[in-house]
A and B are shown apart, each in its own frame.
Chain A
């Protein structure tokens, strides 16, 4: 007897996975066409998508915060916007479409898009990540199928549709940008392992990223961050403190590039405390620090309720009295070296302050902290190039942001790093990419390489010959009138080759009887 008289009497097979497979198939159709699009078309589609995304940046920022409870609307709006037109501007001149002739090295390079990208997007940055990955896919002539974090499902679905519509109106094929309707762990696992997926772009929890790498498909995953900011005695403390507070309060600190710990020297700590306080931070005393630690770290790890919440909200929950204008909370660890939980990643506006006796010890502590969050980011504040070089050389990170807010800086928004919502954590972070992921990571090149011996001549290439190979463009429907018909109807040589291959395969199948 079923307890619920209204429960379904039959087991209904979940259509979500079958539908997701169909989306991948559809993406293949789309990329068959778009993968051969010329540069004008690519830029036209990119422009249209960027504009449509930009117009709705605020709308989706609002929606994402409403749906997930993470972050700050105005900051999300800014991040969303940055992933549209500015991103396009950054990559506008990077031609990942046209063939390149390199006479000096006697090579020709032909761009080959990956094909179909399966992209995971996180609940903390649902729209910015979706925008960003869609733009990368377009610029590299790939199709993309999103699987959003279930907590951000609605806004992600809607945003993907907005982008897809814009792409289609600009002449892209249907199915270039899609989003699975009912994301679930089994669905993601099955699609990640599909041989129809060319590459996985995974942003999300560590487990998901590992799963992407274990799927058997090429994957680009980025691990978690736990950025350390070192404040050298040469730093201008007030400016530094302001940057730290701005960075840490940005979108309630849900970016993985947010500073987690600020380190300075003992002699400088008092200065830093004062400067941070005047920049809007609440400096915790020993009892505040304990309360905060207890609230943020449960037996099961970081308390997810705190993710992306404001400083005052967290203070209230942790039982700390703070001024209503407090922008971040700063617990202070006076005796570093032990495994204090407050040295772990905290996706909320809580910035741990610690100090070391000297630079050498500071580096040791930083390296210790970065055992979690390896390969990610660190920041250096000050004007001491020698120490900066040592710092960068010794730490297992692939970007060191200098005299800038790390949240934005590491993601390329206050530095000249490429703008990105996929911060490659490289080998140190168990990832295949160590730089900020861009569209160039989604294209491989076929290289025609001539004999280097000077006696073998390099030839002239007419690249326009490539254009006629575009499949199924509407104009191609009239191929009959264009294609030269051999008088006896016999096929040309590459068809012969193909036929040969098929015949060989058939012979294999029939055990040589054919």
Chain B
């Protein structure tokens, strides 16, 4: 019996059945077929506890949402404190929490002028794309093939057609794709001078974190400038110290015109996202400040939590820890690759953002399952299933890191076995 006070379930199976019945049969089926039928019960630090009692170390972190781990005590205390004074607030009016948070965010990216808040990443992307259209008076948006920016109207249209066609939300005439790491291709589409914005994740997450070539982002920015196109950095997964600096673009020598962040900004306990724009891009905020409105966007409680998140990320201890974790997995994964070179063929890494490549088109699905069986939860990349997303948190301790590596090593023979079955089945 799982009695949660407000509701209860007989068993995990009871939950799965009711979830399929009332919530989302497709997802329930998918994870069961994948061999990773997780239903998270308790959670703390970087640990998840499945309803079966199984403990998993979380290396998915929902893309960085749990950067500080689950229910980080300081963040929880902040939110609780906020609840004694604030609620979501009134989105029409100026607010102390929003103003303070906006100012603090801008200080992390001083070439920006305004922070416009949303409740989720896609909403912030929406704001970014609308802003670009407002500034340039152009409609076209360019993104990379296998880029991912969310599932709302404009954001989903930038992405893979798997997610747009089903809802008839693809708009090929306005939304163009170019290959990643190919500045010439970008120049070809921008040439006509009718593109409002080029939106790109600093390191494309759902594509499996392929690393941008040395000069790629700088080159993109140069080309954008040349044709009057705005550069939008999607920092939803690369922001918040995950690449070793506050924002991923800071490590690539560019200053985007617009940037988007979300996920970990709310500390995993209160949803909030933000779109930061330069003064030149923020004209609409003067012309018609209510042109974009969102009841849940920039809720005051979220602003309070976000404010704490940014403050925590500035602590020398956290920054130092990110570097230790980074170095640990850099060395550790090299060793793992050497030991399991028959299946584990490549590592992509910047900071605590890692993509692990396996030698099979669905290799990461098998590895994800093998890891799950061995107490580690890491998800494959939806748009390149060769690659496992491997996303350690910024506060991981040396002991847990070592445990992750040990479990990883233990999981490899099982992964090898699963891959063999997949190969024979194919």
Contacts and interface: CB of A to CB of B under 8 A. Distances in A.
Contact of B339 (A11, A478, A483, A502): A483
Of A11, A25, A478, A510, which is in contact with the most chain B CB atoms at under 10 Å from its CB? A25
Contacts of A28: 397-399
B338 A22 contact: no
B340 interface: yes
Given A477-B330, A480-B334, A489 B341 contact: yes
Given A12-B81, A498-B410, A506-B375, A25 B321 contact: yes
B351 to A, nearest CB: 15
A25 B84 CA distance: 32
Contact of B335 (A9, A483, A506): A483
Nearest to B340: A489
B156 to A, nearest CB: 38
A186 interface: no
Contact of B74 (A9, A13, A29, A490): A13
A502 B315 contact: no
Nearest to A486: B339
Given A23-B317, A174-B320, A498-B409, A514 B373 contact: yes
A477 B334 contact: yes
Interface in A447-502: 471-472, 476-481, 483, 485-486, 488-491, 495, 498-499, 502
**Complex A-B, nearest 6 residue pairs according to Cβ-Cβ distance, in ascending order:** A13-B77, A22-B317, A29-B324, A499-B410, A480-B334, A489-B342
Interface stretch (B10-18, B20-28, B47-55, B262-270): B47-55
Given A22-B395, A25-B321, 9 more contacts: A18-B73, A196-B397, A472-B328, A472-B331, A479-B338, A480-B338, A481-B338, A483-B338, A506-B375
Interface string B42-85: 00000000001111000000000000000001100110011011
Nearest to A31: B398
B406 interface: yes
Interface of B is mostly: helix
A97 to B, nearest CB: 21
A207 interface: no
Interface string B389-426: 00000010111000000110110110010000000000
A32 interface: yes
A309 interface: no
A510 B81 contact: no
Given A499-B410, A502-B410, A485 B341 contact: yes
A490 B340 CA distance: 7
B327 interface: yes
Contacts of B339: 483, 485-486, 489, 491, 495
Contacts of B330: 477
Nearest to A514: B373
A503 B410 contact: yes
A174 B53 CA distance: 38
B278 interface: no
Contacts of A25: 317, 321, 395, 397-398
A313 B291 CA distance: 73
Nearest to A30: B324
Contacts of A478: 334
A506 B343 contact: no
Contacts of A174: 320, 323-324
A75 to B, nearest CB: 34
A489 B82 CA distance: 53
Given A485-B341, A509-B55, A26 B334 contact: no
A26 B321 CA distance: 6
Interface residues of A, number: 43
5 contacts: A11-B84, A25-B321, A479-B335, A485-B338, A495-B410
A45 to B, nearest CB: 18
B368 to A, nearest CB: 17
Nearest to A492: B339
Contacts of A105: none
A232 B332 CA distance: 67
A19 interface: yes
A489 B417 CA distance: 13
Interface in B79-101: 81-82, 84-85
A409 interface: no
Contacts of B318: 22
Contacts of A486: 339
Interface string B308-352: 000110010110110110011011001101111111000000000
A479 B395 contact: no
Given A12-B81, A478-B334, A510 B54 contact: yes
A485 B336 CA distance: 10
Interface string B365-384: 00000000111000000000
A471 B81 CA distance: 42
A13 to B, nearest CB: 4
A26 B409 contact: no
A19 B311 CA distance: 12
Contacts of B374: 502, 506
A5 interface: no
A490 B410 CA distance: 11
A175 B54 CA distance: 34
A324 interface: no
B334 A22 contact: no
A15 interface: yes
Contacts of B54: 509-510
Contact of A32 (B81, B395, B398, B409): B398
Nearest to A474: B327
A19 B317 CA distance: 7
A175 B320 contact: yes
A509 B53 contact: yes
Contacts of B343: 489
A218 B52 CA distance: 37
Contact of B327 (A15, A472, A506): A472
A10 B317 contact: no
B408 to A, nearest CB: 10
Contact of B331 (A10, A18, A476, A514): A476
Nearest to A491: B339
A26 B78 CA distance: 24
B335 A26 contact: no
Contacts of B321: 22, 25-26, 29
Contacts of B317: 19, 22-23, 25-26
Interface string B165-184: 00000000000000000000
Contacts of B320: 26, 29, 174-175
B68 to A, nearest CB: 10
Contacts of B55: 509
A25 B343 CA distance: 33
Interface in A135-166: none
A188 B373 CA distance: 40
A477 to B, nearest CB: 5
Nearest to B55: A509
B410 A477 contact: no
